[in-house]
Amino acid sequence: MADAEYLTVQQALTAVLQGVSVLPAETIPILDALGRVLAQPVIAQDSLPPFANSAMDGYAVRAADLTGATAETPVTLTVVADIAAGHPSDVTLQTGMAARIMTGAPLPAGSDAVVPVEDTSEPWRSPERPLPPHIKIFRQVQPGDYVRHPGEDIEAGQTVLEAGHILRPQEIGVLASLGISHVQVIRRPKIGILATGDELIPVEEPLTPGKIRNSNGYAQTAQVKALGAIPIPLGIARDTEEDVRQKLQTGLDAGVDLFISSAGVSVGAYDVVKAVLETEGNVNFWRVRMRPGKPLAFGTYHNIPYIGLPGNPVSAMVSFERFARAAILKMAGHTRLERPQITAILQETIHSDGRESYIRGIVRRENGTYTATLTGSQGSHIMTSLVRANALLIVPEGITEISAGSPITAWMLDWPETVF
């Protein structure tokens, strides 16, 4: 097979991303929106804080009354009100007056600052304590001291979150503070997951000669779940076009947005996935200059995008990681589609065959730099090499050796996109 028939990883990724679209939006309760991508900007209807309130337990005062106040020369004020959080007072402070006030309680009219309770002659902490008729203040304050101003955090009318923003717990809290109970987010992609191969048996069944358990179906389902997408398991298809079609029909009936299958895409006599795509869809490409994972089918089945991963468990997971992950994130409205990448110092020499290689590695932080070692055997059937790995070390296209001590790009498997 001539080299021209193979795509580079970049070319393949570009084709995959062109072949999938951002899904439509849906409106859902904010608590269901964790990890989702906003489809519309959020405009504040209220200011936050909504009213001037005290940042401390203490006394609301007029700052000008306290000029020159110290512990030795305190200023005595008349206490005219007791203001708890949630209970606005209609009192207006005149010169010489103070109001006892709790954290979060609205400032009374006429006051412009708060003195913390520790700087007064009544350092109580309990609201049950009787209100003193007078209070000695041991310090002066500036207007605005210990006051939380309306709109200090968010002004009414302001765009608080832009479309495309990923909702984390702090965004959910902001939405709640603004009285927004529902948001418009991009729909979660539904991913049909099919394993193919006559040798596969379900996980629950005992092993019989020549058979292996369908681990890919589980690994890809978990990969889909980890992205916040909805897996639709389509089971195991035998190595016949008929059975592959039948299982894919279940996915069409369930309205999947993307098919992901494993195996059946190389040149073996029973590699039927490609044949099925050729007759009832189309094959955009099926070979990538990548290691592990040379055979990779991308196309459509009945107009639904289709990614056919290689069968070997490590190849399937790494190809998912490189291509399917980016496709699913794009469909879900994300714009950062790649894992965080860092530079680490390679501790042992790596050889490659010139294909872009994704070597299972362990990145550690040591003495202020990142170091990278290999997880041992790189066979594409050695699943425990991925269990030990926390990174994929990338050997670029055309490079056949990276020697110990050289920098290498590490694709961090467990770091979230927000690390960059």
The CA distances from residue 402 to 181, 242, 353, 356, 375, in Å, are: 53, 46, 12, 12, 16
Give the CA-trace dihedral at 116, 118, 123, 129, to 10 degrees. Answer: 30
**Minimum CB–partner distance for residue 360 and Mg ion (Å):** 23
199 lies in the site for ligand AMP, by CB under 6 A: yes
Binding partner of residue 312 among Mg ion, ligand AMP, none, CB cut-off 5 to 8 Å per kind = ligand AMP
**Minimum CB–partner distance for residue 271 and ligand AMP (Å):** 6
Nearer Cβ to ligand AMP, position 231 or 313? 313
- Tell me the residue number closest to ligand AMP, measured at CB: 311
The helix/strand count (H/E) of the chain reads as 8, 27
What is the sign, positive or negative, of the torsion defined by CA atoms of 62, 68, 74, 75? negative
Q: Exactly one of 106, 217, 308, 361 binds ligand AMP (CB under 6 A); which one?
A: 217
Q: Exactly one of 98, 180, 263, 283 binds Mg ion (CB under 5 A); which one?
A: 263
Residues in 341-370 that interact with Mg ion by CB under 5 A: none
**Minimum CB–partner distance for residue 379 and ligand AMP (Å):** 11
CA 204 to chain centre: 33
Q: What is the chain's alpha carbon radius of gyration, rounded to the nearest angstrom? A: 31
Nearest to 314 by CA among 391, 387, 413: 387
Rounded Cα–Cα distance for residues 296 and 312 (Å)? 12
Sole residue written with tokens 């592990």: 292
**Minimum CB–partner distance for residue 305 and ligand AMP (Å):** 20
The span of 182-190, 255-263, 357-365, 403-411 binding Mg ion (CB under 5 A) equals 255-263
200 lies in the site for ligand AMP, by CB under 6 A: yes
Rounded Cα–Cα distance for residues 392 and 314 (Å)? 12
Binding partner of residue 192 among ligand AMP, Mg ion, none, CB cut-off 5 to 8 Å per kind = none
CA angle, corner 111, sides to 107 and 115, nearest 5? 80
Q: Exactly one of 47, 53, 262, 357 binds ligand AMP (CB under 6 A); which one?
A: 262
Nearer Cβ to ligand AMP, position 215 or 246? 215
User: Residue 389 CB: number of other CB atoms within 10 A?
Assistant: 22
Rounded Cα–Cα distance for residues 45 and 1 (Å)? 62
Omega into 49 within 30° of 0, i.e. cis? yes
**Minimum CB–partner distance for residue 199 and Mg ion (Å):** 7
**Minimum CB–partner distance for residue 262 and ligand AMP (Å):** 5
Rounded Cα–Cα distance for residues 131 and 185 (Å)? 50
Q: Kindly tell me the burial class for residue 162, based on how many C-beta atoms sit within 10 Å of its own C-beta (0-12, 13-18, 19 or more).
A: exposed
The span of 85-93, 209-217, 241-249, 253-261 binding ligand AMP (CB under 6 A) equals 209-217
Binding partner of residue 106 among Mg ion, ligand AMP, none, CB cut-off 5 to 8 Å per kind = none
Rounded Cα–Cα distance for residues 183 and 175 (Å)? 9
What is the sign, positive or negative, of the torsion defined by CA atoms of 98, 103, 108, 110? positive
Residues in 309-338 that interact with ligand AMP by CB under 6 A: 310-313
Q: Which DSSP string do the residues of 201-267 spell out, in sequence order? A: E-TTSPP-TT-EE-HHHHHHHHHHHHTT-EEEEEEEE-SSHHHHHHHHHHHHHTT-SEEEEES--SS
Nearer Cβ to ligand AMP, position 309 or 344? 309
Nearer Cβ to Mg ion, position 197 or 299? 197
Q: Which residues pair with 100 in a beta bridge?
A: 59, 82
Q: Exactly one of 47, 54, 214, 319 binds ligand AMP (CB under 6 A); which one?
A: 214
The span of 263-271, 277-285, 359-367, 394-402 binding Mg ion (CB under 5 A) equals 263-271
Q: Exactly one of 268, 376, 405, 416 binds ligand AMP (CB under 6 A); which one?
A: 268
Q: Exactly one of 197, 217, 299, 308 binds Mg ion (CB under 5 A); which one?
A: 197
Q: Exactly one of 53, 120, 216, 357 binds ligand AMP (CB under 6 A); which one?
A: 216
**Minimum CB–partner distance for residue 382 and ligand AMP (Å):** 12
Total residues at interface with ligand AMP (CB under 6 A): 18
Binding partner of residue 199 among Mg ion, ligand AMP, none, CB cut-off 5 to 8 Å per kind = ligand AMP
User: Residue 420 CB: number of other CB atoms within 10 A?
Assistant: 11
The span of 4-12, 52-60, 216-224, 260-268 binding Mg ion (CB under 5 A) equals 260-268
List interacting residues with ligand AMP (CB under 6 A): 195, 197, 199-200, 212, 214-217, 262-264, 266, 268, 310-313
* Residues that bind Mg ion in the complex, under the rule CB under 5 A: 197, 263
